[in-house]
Structure 1
Amino acid sequence: MPVPTVVGQLTGGTPAVPVNAMPAELRRRFHYTETEFAVEGTARTFTPVGPLDADGQWTVKTTGGAHYRTRLLVRAPADPKKFNGTVFVEWLNVSSGQDLDPEFAFDHKALLSEGAAYVGVSAQALGVVGQGTAAVAVQGFSPKPLIEQNPQRYAGLTHPGDDYAYDIFSQAAAAIRFPKGPAPLGTLHPKNLIAIGESQSAFRMVSYVNAVAPLAKIFDGYMIHSRPASAAQLLTTAPVQIPVNTIVRSDTAVPVIIMQAEGDLFGRLHALSARQEDSRTIVTWEMAGTAHGDLSGVNYQTRSTAEWNPASGAGTVTDVGSRVSRLCGGPTNDGPQAPIVGAGLAAMTGWVADGTRPPAAPRLQVVADGSAVARDQFGIALGGVRNPAVDVPVATNSGEPRTDASVVCQLLGSSTPFDKARLAQLYPTHADYVSKVTKSADAAAKAGFLLPSDRDAAIAAAEHAAVP
């Protein structure tokens, strides 16, 4: 496959930082660098050969060719000795109308703690030049493509359209592994490349794995997070019908882990209809008490936006949390997703590096008629991957959408704190509460669904909590 040219590092502009810059606090805490590079080449499209069936075993051929120049957002350990050899490559999400890095928002703690490198790819035209329409309108949010966000820094970027995005994503990986020009990772030598994508990017990733991956053979694994039931078109100029229950092909040559929030199974994504059995190379984790998006992601994006768009008026994390609660008619989900996704990322690292398969996970339970997630007396989902947030609850965290809310608020679920009477009934003493959290955290860590650091953090938080 084509290897693009790394044109050079992107610098300057106002402000002189990347769009989607990670918070400075994280760079200092984990001793990471953050740089940007422009890459350019000729991207191809992929034309289906035959039907695109629900089993995902699609056949395509390469067609055409168009010039592009896009950007790579690179985060790497400042000390080469800290690099673990794995690079996570995120298909940046453009649902809002501009590039965002939601997967990094969810799993940055685990990624940075493990010494992995990260590359965000501006794969789609909407994020680069503004070609296309935002899928989710956010009140008070005016999205802009890169060339408008910072014209000086991103002058010269160009994109021929999303039909070419799949090949651009492959070529970005090739530029990391076989750089022609300045090496995006500098002196670091990547051993394994794992593609990651959340929500809209997961929608694209399903089609990439089913159609493009067998030809490109550039990634060593895939982490598909919060996919909908359907898959994205490969060629919008000549669309082919795709079943709404399309699974990830079961004969993948490399490992795939599928992470699904409780809120993904029904509602707008209705991913339940594309639920699939684990196979030799595919493992699925469904996470109890989680929404498609949650407060941790909102908080991360708030901190990030303050770095690269100080004029946005994003405010503090506390201000934003309160504002979102008012906008959505109540507190949004503040559940256990980030620690579970972090554990999934670590498990994926091991699976690709040495063949250690992630633990199999129980699926979320569904009511008898298949119309909703089954819940306990507190409204908490039954089954799925669990940790203290759902097994020793102090609130009902749910991924179920607020039916009268905006699209964004539907995706953020809800969190309903228990009152003092319920807390006293469940946990007669503080020691009892801490003991139950410790037991749950130990079990989750032993099962492989919670990292040791998050196990310790959960117990420490319980020890300092005013419960009951």
Structure 2
Amino acid sequence: MRFRVLTGGNGCSLLSASPLPDLSAAGYTDAEYAATGSARSVVGETGAPTAEFTTRIVVRRPAEAAAFSGCVVVEWLNVSSGTDAAAEYSYLAAELVRAGHAWVGVSAQYVGVEGGSGSVGVATGAPQSLAVKDPERYAGLHHPGDAYCYDIFGSMGQVVRDTTAADHPLAGLSVTTVLAVGESQSAMALTTYVNAVDPGTSPFDGFLIHSRAAAGLPAGEVGSGIDVVTVFGREPTTIRADLDTPVFVVQTETDVLTNFRYHLVRQPDTDRLRVWEMAGTSHADLHQVGEFEEFLGCPDPVNRGQQRFVLRTALRHLRSWADGGDPPPVADPLLLRDTGGPDPVYELDDLGNVRGGVRTPCVDAPTQILSGIVADPVSRICLLFGTTSPIPADELVARYGTRGEYEKHYRDAADAAIAAGFVLADDRDEVLADAHPELIPS
């Protein structure tokens, strides 16, 4: 594979609403490359011939080899908005940087390079390719269609291992572990990748599949992108049983129910599969959208849960697991009850938060009702972002009495989550700062 540094123009075109870590201060470099190679159609039966591609990758890595952990995290960039977004990086960045991992974001799908209308109902203008939007920077990029997206992504997992070439984006680093990550549509793509690529042939040492639907992404076609909406009508599929590398599935409340319907494909944990379902979380949340919340147009505040802390923990567990360590802790599933309808509903506590699942302080010492379920969403995007609802002041007083007592409950819940292996001790101060004593009447 050949690489070319991308510079000039309008700068790197990669959506991210949440603030990024100060990479320069952390001793990291942030660069973008054109990557040219050939890909095969490895999923489905398209009969498509080998095709040439020139896609883009974004690379964030320690500048000095001594600061590198040996681990490269390769993200399948998310195209649900009609352009590439580093959805998982926004959740994992703090852990990536403090651990010394390198991150490679891959424009694996057709829409990320050639443009598209997206599937989440957020208008980003008429579909345009990267080359049309910014010819000075992106001229020459070309994606042959999503018949090849799985092999394009896999080839990136393979190429990051051999860093000997002088023009390699990770030149000077010694790579020992390569992990694949993706959220939402990208998680559905990784589900298909894990199930369709034979064990032993994948270049990845582990997978973090975050917020998948019951089905995986389709095979894809030559010269076009995959319509992700079709996923919700596809046959549900579990993760294959004969895994030879660890697969870590992390799900929100939205993913288990709604039209994602992950509950249909729940399966037991194994020594190569672990599933966590997080209480008080939604498919996307305030951490991901940041100060742009109001532009979503949702009538209620979006979910303010703490899945970012759980995902950072999941990445650390996955790296250790992929390197031969123990599997992550086992977690209870979110509790469901049958109401006689086509789908179950969540079992809720006396305040309205869900029972079961991976627990964080915001649901075990609650000051708000945090949900991944929107009863009557006004748009697709609002369905994905869940809700945050107030708990009446008198109920908070009855539960805690004083702000000091609330803060004690919250600290105890944080320490319990750390002891259970669902939150990192490294994040304790940030978790404690996420408490809301101001909501308790003085």
Q: Which shifted more, 73-82 or 161-170?
A: 73-82
Alignment partners' CA distance in 2, 1:246 and 1:97: 26
User: Are 2:59 and 1:74 aligned?
Assistant: yes
Alignment partners' CA distance in 2, 1:12 and 1:118: 22
User: Are 2:264 and 1:273 aligned?
Assistant: yes
Aligned residue type for 1:153? R
- Alignment partner, residue 32 of structure 1: 28
The gaps in structure 1 that reach 5 residues or longer are 50-60, 300-316
- Alignment partner, residue 159 of structure 2: 175
Shift of 1:267: 1.1
CA pair 105-25 structure 1, distance change in 2 beyond 3 A:
closer
CA pair 465-189 structure 1, distance change in 2 beyond 3 A:
farther
- Alignment partner, residue 405 of structure 2: 432
CA pair 249-276 structure 1, distance change in 2 beyond 3 A:
same
Aligned pair partner of 2:4 in 5, 8, 16: 8
Alignment partners' CA distance in 2, 1:295 and 1:459: 17
Alignment partners' CA distance in 1, 2:71 and 2:411: 32
Aligned residue type for 1:138? V
Post-superposition Cα deviations, 1:160-180, rounded to whole Å, max 9, x if no partner, equal: 100100110011122211255
TM-score, scaled to structure 2:
0.91
- Alignment partner, residue 130 of structure 2: 146
- Alignment partner, residue 359 of structure 2: 386
User: 2:20 touches 2:93 (CA, 8 Å); kept in 1?
Assistant: no
User: 1:18 touches 1:36 (CA, 8 Å); kept in 2?
Assistant: no
Aligned pair partner of 1:286 in 274, 277, 301: 277
| SS of match in other structure, 1:111 | helix
Within 5 A, what are the aligned runs for 1:192-341?
Answer: 192-214=177-199, 216-236=201-221, 244-299=235-290, 317=291, 320-324=292-296, 327-341=297-311
Shift of 1:330: 1.1
Shift of 1:440: 0.6
| SS of match in other structure, 2:428 | helix
Alignment partners' CA distance in 2, 1:428 and 1:87: 48
Aligned residue type for 1:353? D
Alignment partners' CA distance in 1, 2:63 and 2:278: 33
Shift of 1:357: 1.3
- Alignment partner, residue 358 of structure 1: 328
TM-score, scaled to structure 1:
0.86
CA pair 181-65 structure 1, distance change in 2 beyond 3 A:
farther
Post-superposition Cα deviations, 1:22-42, rounded to whole Å, max 9, x if no partner, equal: 956521443321111211111
Aligned pair partner of 2:38 in 36, 42, 47: 42
Aligned residue type for 2:169? P
Instruction: Considering Cα pairs closer than 8 Å and 6+ residues apart, tell me whether 1 or 2 has the greater RCO.
Output: 1
Alignment partners' CA distance in 2, 1:24 and 1:93: 17
Aligned pair partner of 1:127 in 112, 115, 123: 112
Within 5 A, what are the aligned runs for 1:156-167?
Answer: 156-167=140-151
Alignment partners' CA distance in 2, 1:11 and 1:25: 21
- Alignment partner, residue 85 of structure 1: 70
CA pair 423-464 structure 1, distance change in 2 beyond 3 A:
closer
Q: Which shifted more, 136-145 or 98-107?
A: 136-145
Q: Which shifted more, 390-399 or 138-147?
A: 138-147
Aligned residue type for 1:93? N
Aligned residue type for 2:415? D
User: 2:199 touches 2:242 (CA, 8 Å); kept in 1?
Assistant: no
Post-superposition Cα deviations, 1:336-362, rounded to whole Å, max 9, x if no partner, equal: 111111111111111112322110111
Alignment partners' CA distance in 1, 2:37 and 2:258: 39
| SS of match in other structure, 1:293 | coil
Alignment partners' CA distance in 1, 2:127 and 2:96: 27
Shift of 1:215: 6.2
User: 1:90 touches 1:197 (CA, 8 Å); kept in 2?
Assistant: yes
Aligned pair partner of 1:398 in 371, 374, 385: 371
Count residues with an aligned counterpart.
429
| SS of match in other structure, 2:406 | helix
Alignment partners' CA distance in 2, 1:93 and 1:377: 37
Aligned-pair Cα RMSD in Å:
2.4
Identity fraction in percent = 37
